[in-house]
Structure 1
Amino acid sequence: MQPPNLPQELRSVQVLLRFGLRMAILLVFAAFGTIGFGRSLVALLWMAAVLSAVIGAMRYEPPCDTVLNHWDEATAYMAVCCLVSGFNHTAQF
């Protein structure tokens, strides 16, 4: 007999895999950016965060759910965006 949380756990794994794949794609696109890797990555992460938030709102996903969803993904993109932005700012001086 399978536990009742199995589909939810699989959904969280899917979100983690989707996040990893999108991060890899964003890193590749930022590497070819004409304004520099750091600035390109910040812009792409910002757009990915907004896109994830819009998708989460369109699907009526609760922001504080027991499983990972688009809102958590948007939060992770913003956290990485702030981290990269901080490194870009300190590297300029």
Structure 2
Amino acid sequence: MCRQEIEADYIGMMLLAAAGYDPHEAPRALEKVGKMERKSTLEKLLSSLSHPSCKKRSQLLSQPRVMRKAMTLYTQVKGKNDCRTCFMPSTCR
């Protein structure tokens, strides 16, 4: 299950980047979720057996090679998904 969770995080971040969302926000969001979680010691132990912590998941997404790949996708679509180019008159740009 741990590997699947990590793979899902990776794929999710790549999809977000390809959709024009800043990939730096994915690790930040996981850190926030981790801070909000309130679990008992037993729940933490049982969860750690099958799921990586939010902190670990954030660290994995923040790895330079992962972030570089996501940023490549993000920069390729960044200008294409800018709403200003769709809805604002050319005099406003």
Question: Under a length normalisation based on structure 1, what TM-score does the superposition of the two structures give?
Answer: 0.46
Which is higher, the Rg of structure 1 or of structure 2? 2
- Between the two structures, name the one with larger relative contact order (CA 8 Å, sep ≥ 6): 2
**TM-score normalised per structure 2:** 0.46
